[in-house]
Amino acid sequence: MLPVVDLRSPALDAAAAVDEACRGLGFFYVVGHGVDSALADRLDAAARDFFARPDGEKAAIAMVHGGPAWRGWFPLGGELTSGVPDGKEGLYFGAELGPDHPQVAAGTPLHGPNLFPAEPTALRGAVLAWLDAMTALGHRLAGLVAVALGIDPGWFARTVTADPTILFRIFRYPPSPPPGSGWGVAEHTDYGLLTILRQDDAGGLEVRTATGWVDASPVPGSFVVNIGDMLDRMTGGRYRSTPHRVRNTSGRDRVSLAFFFDPSWDAEVVPLPMDGAPAPDDAATRWDGASLAAWHGTYGEYLLTKVARVFPDLADRTQRR
């Protein structure tokens, strides 16, 4: 079982639990978070209603209609991991930004309005409320990470996440075909700072450890939190972004709510001033052979290179605009 962090604990105790979890697996359950379970249930129900509709109806909000904001629906197999189609369909959302927002007006990728279907009408309100709740929880968790690292609890909010990049994905994983050899999503790490995942009860999430793969079994009322590549880079590998994957063998649909609390788009993601040895070249030990220690640039630059590999056709169309 993954470590558990109870946010009802005193702040120093919760931060110590975060530090232990991040030094170990890089994955942990969060309980005592105060997020309304009724909101989660409404969002889950609305998402299942949407996914149950014909592809032709869902295509009214296909990602191609989202332009450079990269929002909307993609069909089963429409997203790639390491060049291989995933066994899932999904909805992409982000911070709701109007045309007058400076980054939208400038045509900055992954910024803009969300695409919502005409039906179910409940999806829009549930998604927007979820974005607010998860953003607040992301700031709270980042504060605990700061304390765990021995820096000021407000450091992330003042610097790296002063204007966080907010990405939200709702995924439907149909059951894997017998004998369960198909992957809903293959081995990967997340790109940003922290991922906050709400699972249903179908299971299927697996985390790679030093001794092999382990199940991150659903715990009612919890979120699964894991480290992204940028926190790995910032801590010089003290906190490692852990590979994970999904295989749905439950025999029924699996719906997950994946929220990514990431650095500001223009933030220069550099190592923190921490005690200890310089960050090693980690290319030899990472799942993809890419060194985070050797990478330099803004988070937006890093994210764009990653997302373009996930949706290469969409990236090509966006670049031709």
Dist CA 200 CA 210 (whole Å): 27
Q: Any bridge partners for residue 268, and if so which?
A: 298
The 3-class SS string of 270-284 reads CCCCCCCCCCCCCCC
- Residue 192 has a pLDDT of 95
- Residue 284 has a pLDDT of 59
- Of all helices (H) and strands (E), which one includes residue 235? none
**Hey, what are 74's tokens?**
């993609």
Dist CA 309 CA 312 (whole Å): 5
Contacts of 257 (CB under 8 A, 6+ apart): 40, 43, 44, 47, 130, 168, 169, 170, 197, 198
- Residue 277 has a pLDDT of 47
- Residue 307 has a pLDDT of 83
Question: Long-range contacts of range 278-281, CB-CB < 8 Å, 24 or more positions apart?
Answer: 278/236, 279/233, 279/236, 279/237, 280/236, 280/237
Q: What are the structural domains, with CATH classification, of the chain? A: 4-320 (2.60.120.330)
Dist CA 109 CA 265 (whole Å): 10
Q: Any bridge partners for residue 74, and if so which?
A: 90
- Residue 285 has a pLDDT of 67
Q: pLDDT of the chain along its 321 residues, tens only?
A: 899 999 999 999 999 999 999 999 999 999 999 999 999 999 999 999 999 999 999 999 999 999 889 999 999 999 888 778 899 999 999 999 999 999 999 989 999 999 999 999 999 999 999 999 999 999 999 999 999 999 999 999 999 999 999 999 999 999 987 555 578 999 999 999 999 999 999 999 999 998 999 999 999 999 999 999 999 999 988 999 999 999 999 999 999 999 999 999 999 988 886 655 445 566 556 656 677 777 888 999 999 888 888 887 666 655 544
pTM across the whole model: 0.93
User: Per-residue pLDDT tens for 23-35?
Assistant: 999 999 999 999 9
Strand pairing class (194-198; 244-246): unpaired
